[in-house]
Amino acid sequence: MRRYHAPGRVNLIGEHTDYNAGFVMPIAIAMGCDIRVSPSTRSVLHLTSAQFPGEMTFPLDVIPTMRRTGAWVDYILGVAREIHALGIELKPMKLHVDASVPTGSGLSSSAALEVSSALALLDGHELPKLELARLCQRAERNFVGMPCGIMDQYASVHGEEHKAILLDCRSITHQLVPIPDGAEIIVANTMVKHELGSSAYRQRVQECHEALSHFPGKEALRDVTLGDLERTASQIPEIPLARARHVILEDLRVQNFLEAAGRGDLHQMGKLMVESHRSLQHDYEVSCEELDFMVDTALTLDGVYGSRMTGGGFGGCTVSLVAPEAVERFEHGLSARYHDRYNLAPAIYRCTPSAGARRVA
Ligand code: ADP
Ligand code: MG
């Protein structure tokens, strides 16, 4: 029996910039998705998950022409279709999914599922890492129907221990960035997910297109400078203007975060994370009350360099940089205050940059 693992990710900074050809800085995390492969006697793909009930069986010859089902299996079926489209034969198998990364919390359980299932379905057929990430992105875009950027799948494939991944989403190349000593990466889960999430995501993609249409000749918001934006601001409606302002400033923040990390300047890194959050809160409008409360609370606690929402927004997780000696008190303080306010116990994870997708058995 073979087993594959693909990690989830937490994005340190650079939110909603990937689909604007900009910069992001995720780390792959230890939590992820495991897939156990066993043989099937019939010519089918048989799918089960420890996190979702039911078992589903799909004849291999039907998969390439199927429509999406609306269920979790779509992530795997989408990957299977993309593998088939490359001319690689799908083999009969049983896949059992078991994830340690929470689902729907902004830590990209979806990319972890896609990437681990791609490795399983490829069955030893080697694809270059970038091709693997792109195949999984196409599965989510073309079949699941989410117009996602490349960040999640890229991070899940390219993760490295002790390093963050500075990804340029235009050239789709990355540089590894050591995280300075003296801070831990603490992720806190609001335990809420507002329904608005996926429709708002599509809407933001659309609003970025609208903003871009005011800059003829520019291919993506990545190419629009702050000066360009200021000169054109009076002609752009308020909402697309605010979205563009977020994307342009967020790209600059990623660059500044990289420089600060190089100097080991945790205070500056934290400050940029807070600026990122405020921009997501007010200009990009993808935060929510619970995320704002969690960030605001984190910032009142000792030893916190910075805190922000991470992932698409409308619930899910925050990420904070916290001095190691303050972590325990931070966790207690944040949990208690969040619980008092929302009567929910937030899950808190200490995250370390971890290796990318691989066969584990
Ligand atoms: P995120 O990627 O932030 O966790 P998404 O909404 O993008 O949130 O993806 C979550 C979806 O991915 C789940 O609703 C489910 O359909 C699928 N998924 C993720 N992990 C699993 C799993 N372990 N088993 C089955 N489906 C999963
Ligand atoms: Mg996802």
Q: What's the pLDDT tens digit per position in 248-268?
A: 999 999 999 999 999 999 999
For 125-183, write each residue's pLDDT tens digit. Answer: 999 999 999 999 999 999 999 999 999 999 999 999 999 999 999 999 999 999 999 99
Are 241 and 330 found together in one domain?
yes
**Ligand 1 probe mutation, 56, 74, 113, most atoms within 8 A of CB:** 113
pTM of the entire predicted model: 0.96
Q: Which long-range contacts (CB under 8 A, 24 or more apart) does 322-331 make?
A: 322/183, 322/184, 322/186, 323/182, 323/183, 323/184, 324/182, 324/183, 324/184, 326/301, 326/302, 327/184, 327/186, 327/303, 329/301, 329/302, 329/303, 330/186, 330/298, 330/301, 330/302, 330/303, 330/304, 331/186
**What is the residue with the minimal CA distance to atom 3 of ligand 1?**
106
The CATH number covering residue 6 comes to 3.30.230.10
| 139 Cβ closer than 6 Å to some ligand 1 atom | no
Is 359 within the bounds of a domain?
no
How far apart CA 164 and CA 111 sit, in angstroms, is 17
- pLDDT confidence band for 198 (50 / 70 / 90): confident
Is 286 within the bounds of a domain?
yes
Name the domain boundary from 178, 196, 212: 178
The pLDDT, as a whole number, for residue 82 is 98
Q: Which residues, in sequence order, are bridge partners of residue 352?
A: none
Are 97 and 240 found together in one domain?
no
Q: Quote the mean pLDDT of the chain.
A: 97
- pLDDT confidence band for 23 (50 / 70 / 90): very high
The pLDDT, as a whole number, for residue 83 is 98
Are 270 and 316 found together in one domain?
yes
- Give the pLDDT mean for 7-34: 98
Pairing of strands 44-49, 93-99: parallel
Are 240 and 111 found together in one domain?
no
Please state the domain count of the chain. Answer: 2
Per the rule left: phi > 0, alpha: psi between -120 and 50, beta: everything else, 185 is beta
The pLDDT, as a whole number, for residue 4 is 98
Is 247 within the bounds of a domain?
yes
For 66-92, write each residue's pLDDT tens digit. Answer: 999 999 999 999 999 999 999 999 999
| 33 Cβ closer than 6 Å to some ligand 1 atom | yes
The pLDDT, as a whole number, for residue 69 is 97
pLDDT at 5 over 90: yes
- pLDDT confidence band for 214 (50 / 70 / 90): very high
| 320 Cβ closer than 6 Å to some ligand 1 atom | no
| 108 Cβ closer than 6 Å to some ligand 1 atom | yes
Is 327 within the bounds of a domain?
yes
Are 254 and 150 found together in one domain?
no
User: Which percentage of the chain shows pLDDT scores above 90?
Assistant: 98
For 281-334, write each residue's pLDDT tens digit. Answer: 999 999 999 999 999 999 999 999 999 999 999 999 999 999 999 999 999 999
- Give the pLDDT mean for 264-286: 98
| 51 Cβ closer than 6 Å to some ligand 1 atom | yes
- Residue 107 Cα: closest atom of ligand 1: 3
**What is the residue with the minimal CA distance to atom 7 of ligand 1?**
110
How far apart CA 259 and CA 197 sit, in angstroms, is 32
The pLDDT, as a whole number, for residue 312 is 94
Are 37 and 151 found together in one domain?
yes
Tokens of 27: 């780390």
152 a catalytic residue: yes
Name the domain boundary from 156, 178, 200: 178
Is 357 within the bounds of a domain?
no
Are 291 and 321 found together in one domain?
yes
How far apart CA 345 and CA 325 sit, in angstroms, is 23
- CA 151–ligand 1 middle distance (angstroms): 16
Are 66 and 84 found together in one domain?
yes
User: Which percentage of the chain shows pLDDT scores above 70?
Assistant: 100
The CATH number covering residue 263 comes to 3.30.70.890
Are 261 and 313 found together in one domain?
yes
Q: Which residues, in sequence order, are bridge partners of residue 310?
A: 317
- pLDDT confidence band for 238 (50 / 70 / 90): very high
> Of 18, 34, 152, 283, which residue is the catalytic one?
152
Q: Which long-range contacts (CB under 8 A, 24 or more apart) does 339-345 make?
A: 341/293, 342/190, 342/192, 342/290, 342/293, 344/190, 344/191, 344/192, 345/191
Is 154 within the bounds of a domain?
yes
Is 358 within the bounds of a domain?
no
Are 193 and 220 found together in one domain?
yes
Is 107 within the bounds of a domain?
yes
Q: Which domain holds residue 240?
A: 184-351
- Give the pLDDT mean for 100-116: 97
Q: Name the residue among 80, 81, 173 with its Cα closest to residue 129.
A: 173
The pLDDT, as a whole number, for residue 109 is 98
- Give the pLDDT mean for 8-33: 98
The pLDDT, as a whole number, for residue 195 is 81
- pLDDT confidence band for 8 (50 / 70 / 90): very high
pLDDT at 196 over 80: no
- pLDDT confidence band for 242 (50 / 70 / 90): very high
Are 85 and 211 found together in one domain?
no
Are 11 and 128 found together in one domain?
yes
Q: Within its chain, how far is the Cα of 150 from the centroid? A: 9
Name the domain boundary from 132, 148, 178: 178
How far apart CA 134 and CA 157 sit, in angstroms, is 10
pLDDT at 197 over 90: no
**Ligand 1 probe mutation, 4, 34, 69, 72, most atoms within 8 A of CB:** 72
Q: Indicate which ligand has the atom closest to the C-alpha of 68.
A: 1
Q: Name the residue among 355, 329, 15 with its Cα closest to residue 163.
A: 355
